[in-house]
Amino acid sequence: MSETVLVGGLDAAEDRIEIPVAGWCDASQGEKSPAAQRKAEQRQRDAAAGVVELALRLGPGEAAMLAESRVARGSRGEAYTTTEYINTLIRRDHELLQQQRGIVEKRLCESCRKALPRGCGGVWRGELSCAIPPIERAMEL
């Protein structure tokens, strides 16, 4: 068992500095700052509305493209916020997806003569006339 030695506030065994902070967390007060209270209320409203928070990791290239697109797509010279821009992209892609599905659902596969997009489930996938592979490619981003 090793003994921890504190030297001038430095814990040599764990490479950390211990600094006492008076009054940092006073549980007896129990009150939140107005900003903390507003944030807590916003989180409650978001949870009640079913809002989902996502975190993204973007490389420098994608971040630059996002910044440029937000400005270029914004209206009246005002850039979209990142949230507005991403939400708009999602809505527009969903509209496009619904249009593409509507077109596909009106077709029959030439090989199996069954309604798409399900068709034969890929039984004729290797045949040139099978409609499933080109539809799958067309539906990809």
Task: Examine the pLDDT at 131 and tell me if it is beyond 90.
Answer: no
Does 27 fall in a domain?
no
The whole-model pTM stands at 0.60
Does 85 fall in a domain?
yes
Per-residue burial over 91-112, b if 16 or more Cβ lie within 10 Å, else e, is eeeeeeeeeeeeebeeeebebb
From residue 41, give the alpha-carbon distance in Å to each of 34, 54, 109, 126. Answer: 11, 19, 53, 57
Burial of 69 (0-12, 13-18, 19+ CB in 10 A): middle
Q: How many Å apart are CA 90 and CA 73, to the nearest integer?
A: 15
Same domain, 124 and 98: no
Q: How many domains does the chain have?
A: 2
**What's the whole-number mean pLDDT along residues 85-112?**
87
Q: What is the pLDDT of residues 20-35, one digit of tens each?
A: 555 555 555 568 889 9
Q: What is the largest CA-CA distance in the chain?
A: 82
Q: Tell me what pLDDT residue 5 has.
A: 47
Does 21 fall in a domain?
no
Q: What 3-state class would DSSP assign to 7? A: strand
Does 28 fall in a domain?
no
Same domain, 97 and 139: no
Same domain, 112 and 99: no
Band (pLDDT 50/70/90 cuts) for residue 91 is: very high
Does 80 fall in a domain?
yes
Same domain, 62 and 97: yes
From residue 88, give the alpha-carbon distance in Å to each of 19, 26, 55, 137. Answer: 47, 44, 17, 24
Q: Tell me what pLDDT residue 6 has.
A: 46
Range of the domain at 131: 108-141
